Structure 1
Amino acid sequence: MRFTSAQRLDDGVLEREFTLGEIPGTLWTPESAAPVPLILMAHNNGLPKADPRLVARARYIAARGYAVATIDAAGCGDRPPSAAAEQARADLRRAMRAGEPLDEIFESLVGPLVEGAVPEWRTTLDALLELPGIGGPVGYSGGWTALGIRLAVVEPRIAAAGFFAGGYVPRAQREEARQVTVPLLFLLQWDDEGNPRQRALDLFDAFGSKEKTLHANLGGHTGTPSFELEDGCRFLDRHLK
């Protein structure tokens, strides 16, 4: 892991850009003399690590005493674009506007992204846990629910997970949801135009976790109330501190 930039932000959080092989990422860490828990924060597939909503969440959680890290998925953000993924995204947007079935297009886009992203996230996790000031346990938080499901199943170091939305998740991850047993916080926007409500509720029901909590709020995809950040941090505090 090679750090390429560093700046101390006005909330005391240290923000550092890094590269790990071909993987670009960002790490936010609080001012702390003791090792802190680590949060892996993945955004919706196709959105870059510099997306303002992700950065705002990461800085807020880091200021609460966590190390927070994110990376760009292949073909996203600072990584070379993928012609196949861009075509699949265009097909998905066209189908949504036309009200056509989305499952097969979604499978062709998100399924391969998950398969490629999981090894990269595990490699990044290995490198992050070797850094001074970062200990365990590890949590996952993000809008890329399919990736979070797979990581929660295959990565034993993840002790708790927070997912956003989840209406459209590939078949493989809908089946894997039954194997997720870590404590879970699931956020649902009741009027989310991009995530069918019943499918999200069915996914929540499928999770195998004995402790799982659903927070549902009125509003569209980007209308998650700001107080959910505070509630999310309390969830992390219960299970990671």
Structure 2
Amino acid sequence: MRFLSERRLDDGILEREFTLGDIPGILWTPGTTPAPLVLMSHNNGLPMADPRLQARARYTAAQGYAVATIDAAGCGDRPRSAADEQARTELRRAMRAGEPADEILESVVGPMVENAAPDWRTTLDALLELPETAGPVGYSGGWTALGIRLAVTEPRITAAGFFAGGYVPRAQREEARQVTIPLLYLLQWDDRGNPRQRALDLFDAFGSKEKTLHANLGGHTGTPWFELEDGCRFLDRHLK
């Protein structure tokens, strides 16, 4: 792991950009170390230009966590084939038009999960070798399909917070029954990009004995700030 930049933020959080092979990422750490590690996923590029994602990471780090995110294979600015780009364009078009998108979704998200999960596990290995990070490990993010795969295959992850989850490939909908770690599941009631009933069905499918559903009115980006506060309290119960 090679750190490319370092800056101390006003709230005392240390923010560092890094690369691990061809994997780019960002690590936020609090003043107290070692800190429990939270993997904060996305699939639309590193959050430096997204104030919402930056705020989530910085707030979580300020609560005493090391927070890491990466551009896994196929995400952000990492290379994609012409066929992948065409499939993504078709998926966006179908969703805007309200057309059935399940098969296009399978062709886009399914391979992304298969390719991204190894990058996240490689990153987790490297992060836990740093003196400022420690287990147990949590997962938090809007990429529910990836979170399901990691929750099933990565025993170091002991709790997870998922956002939405309406569009999840068939493989991960089946794997959800194998997820047994504590879950906090957030649903925006009016999120056109994540069909409500499918999200509810996925929540029902999880095998966890401790799983909590929080539903709020509003669209995809309207999750109330207090859910971030509740999410950190959820992490406190299971990681500290």
Residue matched to 1:26? 26
Rounded Cα–Cα distance in structure 2 between residues aligned with 1:88 and 1:52: 28
* TM superposition shift of 1:151: 0.1
Q: 2:76 corresponds to which letter in structure 1?
A: G
Q: Which digits, 9 at most, give the CA deviation of each residue in 1:196-236, with x for residues without a partner? A: 00000000000000000000000000000011010000000
Normalised to the residue count of structure 2, the TM-score between the two structures is 0.97
Residues 77-86 or 217-226, more deviating:
77-86
2:144–2:162 Cα contact (<8 Å) kept: yes
- Alpha-carbon RMSD across the aligned residues, in angstroms, is 1.1
Rounded Cα–Cα distance in structure 2 between residues aligned with 1:230 and 1:188: 16
Work out whether 1:132 is the aligned partner of 2:131: yes
Rounded Cα–Cα distance in structure 2 between residues aligned with 1:97 and 1:185: 29
Alignment of 1:72-111 (within 5 A): 72-111=71-110
Rounded Cα–Cα distance in structure 2 between residues aligned with 1:37 and 1:56: 19
1:46–1:73 Cα contact (<8 Å) kept: no
Residue matched to 2:2? 2
2:216–2:223 Cα contact (<8 Å) kept: yes
Q: Name the % identity.
A: 83
Rounded Cα–Cα distance in structure 1 between residues aligned with 2:63 and 2:75: 28
Q: Which digits, 9 at most, give the CA deviation of each residue in 1:74-99, with x for residues without a partner? A: 24334234422221111011111222
1:49–1:71 Cα contact (<8 Å) kept: no
For structure 2, the 5+ residue unaligned runs are none
Alignment of 1:54-65 (within 5 A): 54-65=53-64
1:180–1:209 Cα contact (<8 Å) kept: yes
Residue matched to 1:219? 218
Residues 75-84 or 8-17, more deviating:
75-84
What secondary structure, in the 3-state scheme, does the structure 2 residue paired with 1:191 have?
A: coil
2:30–2:64 Cα contact (<8 Å) kept: yes
Equivalent residue pairs, number: 239
**Relative to 1, partners in 2 of residues 1:24 and 1:47: Cα closer, same or farther, differing over 3 Å?**
closer
Residues 101-110 or 91-100, more deviating:
91-100
What secondary structure, in the 3-state scheme, does the structure 2 residue paired with 1:153 have?
A: helix
Residue matched to 2:11? 11
Q: 2:161 corresponds to which letter in structure 1?
A: G
Rounded Cα–Cα distance in structure 2 between residues aligned with 1:47 and 1:219: 24
* TM superposition shift of 1:142: 0.1
Normalised to the residue count of structure 1, the TM-score between the two structures is 0.96
Q: Which digits, 9 at most, give the CA deviation of each residue in 1:99-130, with x for residues without a partner? A: 21110000000000000001000000000000
Alignment of 1:1-241 (within 5 A): 1-32=1-32, 34-43=33-42, 45-50=43-48, 51-241=50-240
For structure 1, the 5+ residue unaligned runs are none
2:40–2:69 Cα contact (<8 Å) kept: yes
What secondary structure, in the 3-state scheme, does the structure 2 residue paired with 1:224 have?
A: coil
Q: Which digits, 9 at most, give the CA deviation of each residue in 1:19-45, with x for residues without a partner? A: 00000000000001x4110000001x2
